[in-house]
Chain A
Amino acid sequence: MSKVTGAQSLVNALEAAGVDVMFGIPGGAILPAYDPIFDSKIRHILVRHEQGAGHAATGYAQATGRVGVCIATSGPGATNLVTPLADAQMDSVPIVAITGQVPAPAIGTDAFQEADIRGVTMPVTKHNYLITDPADIPRAIAEAFHIASTGRPGAVLVDIAKDALQKESTFNYPKNISLVGYNPVLVPKQESINDAAALIAQSKKPVLYVGGGVIKANAAKELMQFAEITGAPVVTTLMARGAFPDSHKQHLGMPGMHGTVAAVTALQKADLLITLGARFDDRVTGKLSTFAPNAKIIHADIDPAEIGKNRHADVALIGDLKNILQALSPATKSALAKSQPDLTPWLDETYGWRSKFPLGYDQPSDGSVSPQYVIERIGKISGPETIFTAGVGQHQMWASQFIGYEKPRTWLNSGGLGTMGYAVPAAMGAKVGAPDTTVWAIDGDGCFQMTNQELVTCALNNIPIKVAVINNESLGMVRQWQTLFYNQRYSNTDLHSKRIPDFKLLAEAMGCVGLRCERPEDVDKTIEAAMAINDRPVVVDFNVHRDAMVWPMVAAGTSNDDITVARSMAPVWDSQEL
């Protein structure tokens, strides 16, 4: 077999792994790889900051279900990937990061642009590699893709010493990957399935607590079938928006800190939580000891370490959600055929909460634009085929609340790590993965100023995303907490972004179309104008009311029972509901 450089081996391996696009920036240590990349059929998108490359890979992966790939040089190039790696790992998104490392003999000498990126990323990746022998490159790449995309998906980093890229070896891509310490359990035990079905058949107040795992497992269809068999109310977490259609009659909305009253309360009052690919995160449970106090727990997850981590599971179903639901549906059907509890009182109650406490917002009295209205209108006008990404903060919560999601992989956000600046690069990655789909980044003015440089990348590479900057000239969510918990002392949350920068000019400077909207009556036509532009990225600066707040809210560390629907306002329950 003829010899090739490690760099060529790397590119061959990426091609063999089925990579069609990667996001990156060259630099000294990774430079040898960029020579064969020049000739490769893999599309390389030259970003403006490595963080953009990482989030773009994540957005691509979330939109398509395929592994996202980013590539950077050693030292600062690699450390700039740390945030997106941690972000993808927290949200179980399959990405592979390739980084150059200083030549092997220089490792450990504090060489120019040296950083121990394997050491740095150990806690924020599913697995990582440091490769110093060119012969090891194909296997490491094959394993990285295997680990990133199977079991509970996650982030994998492959750090390759520069001299390993330069030296020659034979290219030999492994056909089968067998890792002694890595064998995810995919098929649930039938016995546990039967136990779960038996619990369901006894429950008078069940709720399907649906998490992002359902989307990762491509199990939305199976979820629908199962949900309709049980007839139980469904809640979808921030990571699961779109896993179950918002328009479905069993859907109560999102649970958690800014969830709907119906979803939060249904979990609190349930006698059984059928937990599907969710992890009892603190933003969902509130004060854990008071969460769903009367509920038995069925916990289905591909990651055994999630079982019992935060909440004891009465029945654990370990496996791929698609397999689990395919087994659980018939088992539940036959269990219910023997004994079917009457869910009518429970459905009346939960659907009653839903109609009594719908999501809503007030129009500002001063004639300024309501941020919720802008987001709601974008959702309505662009429609459920659109992919939406969001940054982190108030606009993210509103985008989750006021856009109706009907399909999986149409709502991409940073749920676990809560990474401000996620929206623009993630939208770029999503648009590359789904070029025929409209992609809207719903961003805040704070978030937008963290990563907007990638609009240059979008403009130059024909990636026509749409960005709505929900400009309340504040770090809005922090400001909301200062309003509620810090006596309205607005320490360092005023961004002045209605003055500086001028987002319209900034957008145009970056080769995008810049639009601005300052009046409620202009919202629809501005959105329609943005919808009509498909040859360039478009940025709309929506100047909105700065004091709008996200409601409902369960304050951090308090019980879900203490949900407020507006400031200091608990839901007004009928006496029999208490």
Chain B
Amino acid sequence: MATHTLAVLVENSPGVLARVASLFSRRGYNIDSLAVGPTENPKVSRMTIVLNLEGHALDQVSAQLFKLVNVIGISEMKDTDSLKREILLVKVANKAATKEIAKKHNVSIVDETASTISIEAVGSSTAIEALLTELKPHGIRELVQSGLVAIERGANTLADRTLSTMGTANESESISSTADYQN
């Protein structure tokens, strides 16, 4: 069982999320998490997909994904050369112990009632997991987590590698692409 994180640049067009979801569903690829949002280019959205690949090769998944006309570029975000973050919002009992844990993990208390506190944490999957492990014995009232987002370390950008020219709203109409996995 291998987990991989893919950063996928897609055209910001209606139905693109459905196309990606439909592809993963019909080909039997398991998604652990998926986060999608805007990028520096209003025409382009970015998906971060965490995949649990069992019996499927990563380059096959990428090749199938790249066949979608709206997919512009794909890159694997490896642990060694990328930053990965998740957001956690968790509601726990308002007591000294839980506040102490929040302090220890250097995360914010963003809401407080007589009986509860809401903690916001941003961090790697490991950091989030460590926080939750400590909070668990005190009872977790409610928990919500975002999908993972990832960005490459260093000066390189995914757009540099996948788009030869980045169009912006004011710039050229056309943007051309290649996927760096190809061939």
Interface residues of B in 54-111 (CB under 8 A from A): 57, 59-60, 63-64, 66-72
**B174 contacts chain A at the CB level, 8 A cutoff:** yes
A-B contact count (CB 8 A): 62
Interface residues of A in 117-133 (CB under 8 A from B): 118-119, 122-123, 126-127, 130
Inter-chain contacts of B120 with A (CB < 8 A): none
**A318 contacts chain B at the CB level, 8 A cutoff:** yes
CA distance A179 to B23 in the complex (A): 20
**A181 contacts chain B at the CB level, 8 A cutoff:** yes
Contact between B63 and A182, CB atoms less than 8 A apart:
no
**B178 contacts chain A at the CB level, 8 A cutoff:** yes
CB-based nearest B residue for A127: B69
Q: Which residue of the partner chain, among A123, A181, A304, contacts B11 with CB atoms under 8 Å?
A: A181
Instruction: Encode contact with A along B14-29: 1 for CB under 8 Å, 0 otherwise.
Output: 1100110011001000
Given known A130-B15, A181-B68, contact A308–B183 (CB-CB < 8 A)? no
**A387 contacts chain B at the CB level, 8 A cutoff:** no
CA distance A316 to B183 in the complex (A): 8
Of A122, A178, A192, A318, the most chain B CB neighbours within 10 A belong to: A122
Q: Which residue of the partner chain, among B69, B71, B72, B167, contacts A126 with CB atoms under 8 Å?
A: B69
Inter-chain contacts of B71 with A (CB < 8 A): 181
Given known A130-B15, A305-B67, contact A181–B183 (CB-CB < 8 A)? no
CA distance A119 to B68 in the complex (A): 14
CA distance A304 to B175 in the complex (A): 21
**A337 contacts chain B at the CB level, 8 A cutoff:** no
Q: Which residue of the partner chain, among A118, A130, A192, A308, contacts B57 with CB atoms under 8 Å?
A: A308
Of A178, A179, A318, the most chain B CB neighbours within 10 A belong to: A179
CA distance A123 to B22 in the complex (A): 7
Contact between B69 and A122, CB atoms less than 8 A apart:
no
**A567 contacts chain B at the CB level, 8 A cutoff:** no
Contact between A304 and B26, CB atoms less than 8 A apart:
no
**A496 contacts chain B at the CB level, 8 A cutoff:** no
Contact between B174 and A130, CB atoms less than 8 A apart:
no
Given known A178-B176, A181-B71, A304-B66, contact A123–B26 (CB-CB < 8 A)? yes
CA distance A179 to B167 in the complex (A): 12
In the assembled complex, the CB of A7 is this many whole angstroms from the nearest CB of chain B, namely: 23
Instruction: Encode contact with A along B158-183: 1 for CB under 8 Å, 0 otherwise.
Output: 00000100010000001111100011
CA distance A521 to B49 in the complex (A): 67
CA distance A179 to B72 in the complex (A): 9
Contact between B177 and A181, CB atoms less than 8 A apart:
yes
CA distance A316 to B60 in the complex (A): 13
Inter-chain contacts of A308 with B (CB < 8 A): 57, 59-60
CB-based nearest A residue for B21: A122
CB-based nearest B residue for A132: B14
Contact between B67 and A303, CB atoms less than 8 A apart:
yes
Contact between A119 and B18, CB atoms less than 8 A apart:
yes
20 contacts between A and B (CB under 8 A): A119-B18, A122-B18, A122-B19, A123-B23, A127-B68, A179-B69, A180-B163, A180-B167, A180-B176, A180-B177, A181-B71, A183-B176, A189-B183, A192-B183, A303-B67, A304-B63, A305-B64, A308-B60, A309-B60, A318-B183
Residue positions of B touching A, CB distance < 8 A: 10-11, 14-15, 18-19, 22-23, 26, 57, 59-60, 63-64, 66-72, 163, 167, 174-178, 182-183
- 16 new A-B pairs (CB below 8 Å) besides A180-B163, A180-B174, A316-B183? A119-B18, A122-B15, A130-B14, A179-B69, A180-B72, A180-B167, A180-B175, A180-B177, A181-B70, A181-B71, A181-B72, A192-B183, A304-B182, A308-B57, A308-B59, A308-B60
